[in-house]
Amino acid sequence: MAQISHRGSSTRRACPCGALIAADNTDRLCHRCRRNARIDVFGPPEVPAEFWDHSVIAGALAERDMGAVLAAYRHHPQHVSRVTQDRMAGWLGISQAQLSRYESGENPIDRMDRLRHFAQTLGIPGDRLWFDRAGIQSQAGPDTGAPPDVLAAAWDASSIARSVEETARNDLAISRRAALAGAAAVAVGPALVEPLQRWLHPLQTMSRWSSSSAISEEELAALQRVADGLRGWSGRGGFGLARKAVLGQLDELAERLSRAPAGPTTERAFFIGAELSKVAASMSWDAGLHDAAQRYYVLAVRMAKAGRNDPFAALCLAAMARQMFDLGRPEDGLELVQLAQYGTRRSATPTLQSLLLTREAWAYAQLGRVREFERVVGLAQDSFSQRKAKDEPRWLHSFDEAEMEGVIGARTRDLAAGHDPRLAVAAEKHIRRALDLRDPSLVRNRAFDVIGLARTKMVAGQPEEACDLIKEVLPTAERLSSGRVLRKLQDFAKESERHRDLPGVQETRDAIRAMRTA
């Protein structure tokens, strides 16, 4: 017990927190620490502001690694009593084994709902967080190369062009390592949905906003050829030469648009820019850069609006909804889908209606609303049956019957895993149908189908068959170097944990871990 001399003639005991203990207090702890010691059996103790300044925990926060934050919190020297993994797991509502995998980095924590829950439970101050941007500005600050705020920009053609140019140029100037280290949080909730509601309003006029020469038909044709070529790269991985090429072309196009007057060719050039921006978003998402992906999806919506193509803007909103589903934000995803549906209620083709309905069903599957899911799936199938391929725009051709069946099958699997295992039979039927119909050249989509089928087998209690499917797709996944494919494999590894005692399952889990480490 620490003794502190007081006025030369008596000693005062000190609590481990540094506070002096009253003379009539026979405990080794001060009153505050004793109270916290009782509380932290059921929840985390109160900690002072300087708790978060400790070098280890501050470093984990700076690295944007929640698993490292959890480990640093547990081992913080300021705790009165030892925080074991069992105790912290109880606070967080997870198992000790889950916490151990989070802390070791075996299972990265990237779901928005889980990040928010852990931060709220531990009382991490809002200004220390790197996610959930609602009400929290990026810590990068205005002078450290932070990307433009695309949600706040004005909705007129010249502002849209400048916003695209600034964003693409900013991203071209930084490396992948810098992008990953300095990634801002995605916008969620009202901070995301409310600014996008302006898409429903008429665009501010473009008349007389530039006196330069108009974009010619020859320029437009050349731009379209380049965009068509770059679009084919979107399935080849999320970062590197392909993404730089897309951003470079987007930057040049935006610079040209910033000097072009109003007119039909300018509007068509804006639409080409919307297509390029959507490709950039998909590549960013694949690379794990959710904040960059969100920026380019927003820019795609804005450019499609300037290009007078509301249906394509709705397609981009649907892609943003998928991103929200991936981040564990089904309510936000549902709002984005409903915004797209409302904005195209008079202009959507049967294929676009079907696509938006499958996204709506996706939200209901994540929310566990089985009846709404089944109702909307039926509506999606009815709408799709009314399509006439020759009347559909080329940018909707990728949503064919195989894609619809794959989405329905995967979402039915989600419901089977979380609510009713008997639905696994229906899920497998839809996914196998997707595989039968899928174009063999769509290698990444087929990989998603096979992984989805394996996860369905796991739900159905057939782990050996599930692992055989994963072993079949691993060589393809390795060649693809796709971040999204790897994350789906990691989901399978998590779901197979309860069968890890089976040699085949453990072997498959080890192969996935080795691929992730590589």
Q: What is the pLDDT along the chain (518 residues), one digit of tens a residue?
A: 444 444 444 466 776 566 777 776 665 656 655 554 444 445 788 888 888 888 888 878 877 788 889 998 988 888 877 788 888 887 887 888 888 888 887 777 877 767 888 888 888 888 788 765 443 333 333 344 567 788 888 888 888 988 898 888 888 876 555 554 444 578 888 889 999 998 888 876 554 445 567 788 888 888 888 877 776 665 544 445 678 888 888 988 888 888 888 888 889 999 999 999 999 999 888 877 888 899 999 999 999 999 999 999 999 999 999 999 988 899 999 999 999 999 999 999 999 999 999 999 999 999 999 999 999 999 999 999 999 988 999 999 999 999 999 999 999 999 999 888 999 999 999 999 999 999 998 899 999 999 999 999 999 999 999 999 999 999 998 888 788 888 899 889 988 988 989 999 999 999 998 887 76
Per-residue pLDDT at 234: 55
Per-residue pLDDT at 203: 78
Per-residue pLDDT at 287: 79
The verdict on residue 441 lying in a domain is yes
The verdict on residue 463 lying in a domain is yes
Same domain, 230 and 295: yes
Same domain, 228 and 100: no
The verdict on residue 458 lying in a domain is yes
Same domain, 170 and 300: yes
Q: Which long-range contacts (CB under 8 A, 24 or more apart) does 341-344 make?
A: 341/314, 342/200, 343/199, 343/200, 343/310, 343/313, 343/314, 343/317, 344/310, 344/311, 344/314
Same domain, 416 and 492: yes
The CATH number linked to 456 is 1.25.40.10
Same domain, 441 and 480: yes
Same domain, 105 and 221: no
The verdict on residue 325 lying in a domain is no
DSSP result, 479-502: HHT-HHHHHHHHHHHHHTGGGTTS
The verdict on residue 297 lying in a domain is yes
In angstroms, the CA 87 to CA 58 distance is: 22
Same domain, 123 and 160: no
The verdict on residue 334 lying in a domain is no
Per-residue pLDDT at 3: 47
Contacts of 359 (CB under 8 A, 6+ apart): 318, 321, 322, 333, 337
Same domain, 432 and 302: no
Same domain, 174 and 112: no
The verdict on residue 121 lying in a domain is yes
Per-residue pLDDT at 313: 97
Domain enclosing residue 284, as ranges = 156-203+212-308
Same domain, 79 and 163: no
* Residue that is last in its domain, among 308, 336, 365: 308
* Residue that is last in its domain, among 261, 284, 308: 308
- Judge whether 354 and 399 are in contact, CB under 8 Å: yes
* Residue that is last in its domain, among 252, 283, 308: 308
In angstroms, the CA 493 to CA 481 distance is: 18
Same domain, 420 and 456: yes
In angstroms, the CA 132 to CA 5 distance is: 49
Q: Is 247 exposed, middle or buried (0-12, 13-18, 19+ CB in 10 A)?
A: buried
What is the count of structural domains for the chain? 3
Structure tokens at 325: 């589903």
Same domain, 63 and 110: yes
The verdict on residue 353 lying in a domain is no
- Binning the chain into helix, strand and coil, the percentages to the nearest 5 are 65, 0, 30
